[in-house]
Structure 1
Amino acid sequence: MDMQKEFPMTQSGYVQLQEDLEELKTVKRPDVVEKIKVARSFGDLSENSEYDAAKDEQGFIEQEITKIEDMLRHAKIIEDNGNNNIVQIGKTVTFSEVPDGDEEKYQIVGSAEADPFEGKISNESPIAKALLDAELNDSVIVPLPDGSEMTVKIISID
């Protein structure tokens, strides 16, 4: 039996994916269809770079639509249980590096809504895996990409 991967996500992440899908279907898909139509009017398709670029863009858009539909179909909405003493998906964690005290703050989310530039890290990332299920004031050892480790102390969980 084929097991589908679940995509854990917050309610806001689910809504954002729905909005992204709607934009792809109602704005970007019709735009690229129009680009293809215009490019066809230029004549010989074998030497038509506008047509090739538009077809590539169409393929990308269709692939994104399929991917987002799959994520939404297999989404698992993470409910906040109100416990701010344990790190869980959906929680925002502030920690400091030991011993230098540099503070960092991330929300742990499912891979579908991860965006490190927005402070959202995937629950599948090494740092999130190390932090999940840890408690407030715990010291946690986090593996680094170079094979070394760093120790962090959890300051707050929201």
Structure 2
Amino acid sequence: MSRPPITKAGSERLRAELEKLKFVDRPRIIAAIAEARAHGDLKENAEYHAAREQQSFAEGRIGQLESLLSNAEVIDVTQLNPGNRVVFGAIVDLEDEDSGTAVTYQIVGDLEADIKLRMIAVSSPIARALIGKSAGDSFEFTAPNGVKHYEIIGVRYE
């Protein structure tokens, strides 16, 4: 089984989240459980049940992050030298050939993809269409709402 790729920056973000969960959130939740226990009758104690639910979520996320980080292959995109070709970790400036709208995406691992941050998974249809192309190339891919046509304006690695 191959190890899922993750950028160095993505790995650092996940490690920061893990540290926060372990050393900030976990102690806060444990204190909340202890305080709720002090109120007595646990059957009808909403604060206790809410704190236990938070604890369950936090512990689950800690386990998930530890597993992801131990299995992932961290790739430092600044050490890559692909020229102006699009490979994993590339930040790609695109122009929609139909509407003229410009958009920028970074191709990242599935573990760190977040469309709100314009970070798309390497396994996504648009990323698969981009891989191997160079600045100046046009390409098309099938999106959920139809075929899209883009031109690659620029490729960079940060």
TM-score w.r.t. the length of structure 2 is: 0.89
1:99-154 Cα offsets, whole Å, 9 max, x none, are: 332111011111222222222122122222221222222211122113x1101111
Match of 2:147 among 142, 149, 153: 149
Name the residue aligned to 1:112.
111
Match of 1:75 among 72, 77, 102: 72
1:49 aligns with 2:46: yes
Moved more, 12-21 or 78-87: 78-87
- 1:53 and 1:76 map into 2 onto residues whose CA distance is 36
- 1:63 and 1:6 map into 2 onto residues whose CA distance is 21
Question: Sequence identity of aligned pairs in percent?
Answer: 37
Moved more, 22-31 or 79-88: 79-88
Moved more, 85-94 or 117-126: 117-126
- 1:151 and 1:76 map into 2 onto residues whose CA distance is 32
Q: Secondary structure at the match of 1:64?
A: helix
1:131 aligns with 2:130: yes
Name the residue aligned to 2:17.
20
* TM-aligned CA deviation for residue 19 of structure 1: 1.5
Alignment of 1:66-105 (within 5 A): 66-80=63-77, 81-105=80-104
Q: Secondary structure at the match of 1:84?
A: coil
1:8-59 Cα offsets, whole Å, 9 max, x none, are: 1111211222121111111101111111111111211111111111111101
- 1:11 and 1:79 map into 2 onto residues whose CA distance is 5
- 1:82 and 1:113 map into 2 onto residues whose CA distance is 22
Structure 1 stretches of 4+ moved >6 Å: none
- 2:73 and 2:81 map into 1 onto residues whose CA distance is 18
Q: What is the aligned residue count?
A: 154
Root mean square deviation, CA, Å: 1.5
Unaligned regions of 5+ residues in structure 2, if any? none
Q: Secondary structure at the match of 1:99?
A: coil
Q: Secondary structure at the match of 2:58?
A: helix
